[in-house]
């Protein structure tokens, strides 16, 4: 029996994507070579990265709107600093919505490059909600938000309306629901949660916001460097980009982001419904801010912990313990998670 994988990342991939990727590792594009030994400058891989870039723009509805698509290394963690390098002038200010661990890390990195201003924070209640109705000063170089908070299980439902460049870390919910992606001037997402395998990071950037800081940017940290070389300034993670291409094609074949949203809503409704109706459990996040990607909850009676986890293990439930800073449980039900796995977890919860 294949386990029901609720890991927060690296996370579940669609079965069809795994099978195609596995086949390519053995023989890529009928070359009698493995995908992992093919040159990143070969015409075969060039076709892969161009298709991946095209799929990003298609799924986001950004074709012909002045956006560039990059696949870079370093994870979202590097983007915390890279966004500041490229968008924040020396002694400039950037505004941040502090909604948890990852936004705190982004604030720390930006503060190295200039002044990171916390516009609002949910720290007062252990990051179990999303701040709303906060002011945005007009002297900021950009505003940074984390769209979905994997550790605490919260998600932004309404993004701020501002004429200031808007930057979003969408690592754990990109292409999971319909959005007006043109509201954002820069989006980044580590692939390993919702669009692929670990090893590459997607960046979508509106080219017109670049080259305005007046600072000298090291080549590897400069978006323009990577744009000019079509993400091939250095050897990229060929395998990871290929898996992301397959994953995004899978989303497109399902009917695109709108179809994906309906599937994700059904999974989230099923699991949150059980949490709310089962007296053994209580949700962590405020109901209006609940994430459909990372469902966080705890036991009401901790004496049932051993029995609950034994039932889960017997049912093949894998990697659903909560983050150490929150405790309890976290079921990550990203795009690739089938509703059958969610039902398996719900069945265990009912049996407690």
Question: Which sequence positions are flagged as catalytic?
Answer: 102, 169, 193
Look at the block and give the residue holding tokens 């604030």: 107
CA–CA gap between residue 75 and residue 102 (Å, rounded): 12
β-pairing, 115-121 vs 93-98, is parallel
Beta bridge partners of residue 299, listed in sequence order: 281
Where does residue 154 rank: exposed (0-12), middle (13-18), buried (19+ CB within 10 A)?
buried
Look at the block and give the residue holding tokens 């709107």: 65
> Can you list the alpha helix ranges (DSSP code H) found in 114-255?
191-194, 223-228, 238-254
* Backbone dihedral region for residue 196 (phi beyond 0: left; psi -120 to 50: alpha; all else: beta): left
Preceding omega of 339 cis (within 30 degrees of 0): no
Residue 331 phi/psi, 5-degree rounding, is -105, 110
Give me the DSSP letters along 298-351.
Answer: EESSGGGHHHHHHHHHHTTEES-BPPTTT-SEEEE--TT--HHHHHHHHHHHHH
CA 70 to centroid of chain Cα atoms: 15
**Residue 190: strand, helix, or coil:** strand
CA–CA gap between residue 221 and residue 133 (Å, rounded): 33
DSSP run (H or E) holding 115: strand 115-121
CA–CA gap between residue 341 and residue 351 (Å, rounded): 16
HEC per residue, 16-46: HHHHHHHHHHHCCCCCCCCHHHCCCCCHHHH
Q: Which residues contact 26 (CB under 8 A, 6 or more apart)?
A: 34
């Amino acid at each position: 029996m294949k386990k029901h994988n609720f890991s927060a990342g690296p996370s579940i991939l669609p079965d069809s994507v795994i099978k195609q990727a596995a086949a390519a590792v053995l023989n890529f594009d009928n070359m009698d070579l493995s995908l992992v030994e093919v040159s990143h400058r070969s015409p075969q891989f060039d076709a892969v990265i161009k298709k991946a870039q095209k799929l990003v723009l298609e799924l986001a509805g950004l074709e012909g709107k002045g956006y560039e698509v990059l696949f870079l290394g370093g994870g979202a963690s590097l983007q915390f600093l890279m966004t500041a390098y490229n968008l924040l002038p020396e002694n400039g200010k950037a505004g941040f919505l502090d909604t948890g661990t990852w936004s705190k890390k982004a604030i720390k990195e930006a503060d190295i490059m200039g002044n990171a201003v916390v516009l609002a924070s949910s720290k007062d209640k252990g990051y179990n909600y999303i701040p709303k109705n906060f002011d945005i000063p007009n002297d900021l170089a950009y505003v940074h938000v984390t769209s979905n908070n994997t550790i605490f299980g919260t998600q932004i439902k309404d993004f701020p309306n501002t004429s200031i460049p808007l930057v979003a870390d969408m690592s754990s919910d990109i292409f999971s629901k319909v959005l007006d992606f043109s509201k954002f001037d820069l989006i980044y997402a580590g692939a390993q949660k919702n669009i692929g395998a670990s090893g590459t990071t997607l960046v979508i950037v509106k080219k017109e916001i670049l080259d305005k800081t007046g600072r000298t940017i090291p080549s590897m940290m400069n978006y323009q460097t990577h744009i000019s070389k079509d993400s091939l300034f250095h050897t990229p993670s060929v395998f990871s980009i290929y898996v992301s291409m397959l994953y995004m094609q899978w989303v497109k074949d399902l009917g695109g982001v709108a179809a994906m949203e309906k599937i994700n809503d059904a999974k989230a409704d099923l699991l949150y419904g059980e949490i709310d109706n089962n007296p053994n459990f209580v949700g962590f996040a405020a109901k209006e801010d609940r994430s459909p990607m990372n469902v966080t909850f705890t036991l009401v009676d901790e004496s049932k912990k051993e029995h609950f986890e034994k039932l889960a293990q017997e049912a093949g439930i894998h990697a659903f313990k909560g983050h150490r800073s929150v405790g309890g449980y976290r079921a990550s039900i990203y795009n690739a998670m089938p509703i059958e796995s969610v039902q398996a977890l719900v069945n265990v919860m009912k049996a407690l």
